[in-house]
Structure 1
Amino acid sequence: MLIGRNNFDIDDLKDTDEFTVQTTRGGKLKEVSCNMYPNVKLTFITAHRSKGLEAKNVIIINAKNRITGFPNQMTDDYVLSYVLTDAEEYLYAEERRLFYVAITRTKDTTYIITPERNPSVFIKELMTKQKIAMQYNNVNNNIEDNPTCLKCDSGKLVIREGDNKFVGCTNYPMCQYTNNYTEIIKNPIRCDVCHDFLVRRNGSNGPFYGCSRFPKCENTISLK
């Protein structure tokens, strides 16, 4: 079962080479076919209409931090909250209840699709307060061959950009491993002392490999 916050959330799959979407039952239910896996039965429904339903596996889509994401930010009016005497204690309180309905529709596993750079505020809460890790998949660049994170042992190391480029874990913010040496992505050589990465350096006697954690780790290996 695919669950969206809005009816139009499924429109991103329409008219694509990967999926076919057909409307049934008077427009209340949409059948989705994946051309790569034609035998897999997929249905799309909104979170409101999913109440009381169950599926073995649930995928919640459009968990983005935007006005029409999940939560739908048009439902909570900041100005109106000042004049209502029964204003909810939590931001997006009704949306929060609806999100709970969506994630509990499964008999087995619920998957939530969210963008890495602009996730829903609900996703941030799940990751920080409930300690639910994120699995990162880059649809544009294959990262399967990237080094595995040394800290969490489940994420992949990728290049990120802040004030400067650096290496971070795809499970951030659950895992906050960083490394300032981006060359370790293509040339991951493990330090046999601290088990971090060795990077190429230049010394008075020529180039050598030194630990990226120097001066905490002073391990070196001669290029010879």
Structure 2
Amino acid sequence: MLKLSNNLLGLPNKMTDEPLLSLLLSDNEAYRFAEERRLFYVALTRTKNEVVLLAPSEASLFVEELLKDNNYILTTADGAVNATACPYCKTGKLVIRANTAKGSQFLGCSHYPSCNQTFKNVEILSDSMLCPGGESGFMIKRNGRFGDFLECTSYPECKNTIKLQ
């Protein structure tokens, strides 16, 4: 699907309708841009194999809703919305999952069960720094007997650390 940008001619189209057209359409819709939303839904669900959404950095509100509703973790850089990529498989996105037995949350790859990478520290999203050793992990803050330091989430397989001053 093309034109999934958040501008005048994107989807949803933000051009004002002709006054004559407003006489034919009902105003009591539950959602904003209800007609465009139905068209978007039909395009997503009526494909034979897969659908590819091409969205620029200024993504449509429909694309943002779709990502948020599926628990994709969104980050912003210079106003652009991005999903956090799985550092292990590189193609999946990190999503927040719930551990019902422990009543806690963790991060998992959207490609599960093909990629079963998980992170128990949801807080890595606020300051995500990939492990510089090339491992599939993030650097998280730890406290040891010699003070604070950063450690890879893949410990003990990856023993990369960075001492903090």
Q: Is the 8 A contact 1:189 1:197 kept in 2?
A: yes
Q: Is the 8 A contact 2:95 2:110 kept in 1?
A: yes
Instruction: Structure 1: state its 5+ residue gaps.
Output: 1-13, 20-32, 36-40, 46-57, 61-101, 112-135
Matches within 5 A, 1:104-183: 104=48, 110-111=50-51, 137-139=67-69, 143-145=73-75, 146-162=83-99, 163=102, 164-183=104-123
Letter matched to residue 73 of structure 2: I
Alignment partner, residue 33 of structure 2 = 18
Render the CA deviation track for 1:47-70: whole Å, top value 9, x for unaligned: xxxxxxxxxxx432xxxxxxxxxx
Supply the distance in 2 between the matched residues of 1:148 and 1:43 (Cα, whole angstroms). Answer: 25
Aligned to 1:138, what secondary structure does the other structure show? helix
The change in CA–CA distance for 1:176 and 1:209 in structure 2 (over 3 A counts) is same
Supply the distance in 2 between the matched residues of 1:44 and 1:217 (Cα, whole angstroms). Answer: 44
TM-score (norm. length: structure 2): 0.54
Q: Is the 8 A contact 2:68 2:74 kept in 1?
A: no
Q: Max radius of gyration: which structure?
A: 1
What is the root-mean-square deviation of aligned Cα atoms in Å? 3.3
Instruction: Note if 1:213 corresponds to 2:154.
Output: yes
Offset at 1:213?
1.6
Supply the distance in 2 between the matched residues of 1:43 and 1:219 (Cα, whole angstroms). Answer: 46
Render the CA deviation track for 1:138-196: whole Å, top value 9, x for unaligned: 24877331531112223322332113321112233343210122221111112112241
Q: Is the 8 A contact 2:96 2:106 kept in 1?
A: yes
Render the CA deviation track for 1:102-139: whole Å, top value 9, x for unaligned: 654xxxx644xxxxxxxxxxxxxxxxxxxxxxxx7224
TM-score (norm. length: structure 1): 0.42
Aligned to 1:34, what secondary structure does the other structure show? helix
Which one has the bigger strand percentage? Answer: 1
The change in CA–CA distance for 1:179 and 1:203 in structure 2 (over 3 A counts) is same
Instruction: Structure 2: state its 5+ residue gaps.
Output: 1-28, 52-65, 76-82
Letter matched to residue 67 of structure 2: N
Letter matched to residue 171 of structure 1: H
Offset at 1:204?
0.8
Q: Is the 8 A contact 1:147 1:188 kept in 2?
A: no
Alignment partner, residue 59 of structure 1 = 44
Letter matched to residue 150 of structure 1: P
Q: Is the 8 A contact 1:199 1:211 kept in 2?
A: yes
Identity %: 31
Alignment partner, residue 189 of structure 1 = 129
Letter matched to residue 172 of structure 1: Y
The total of aligned residue pairs comes to 113
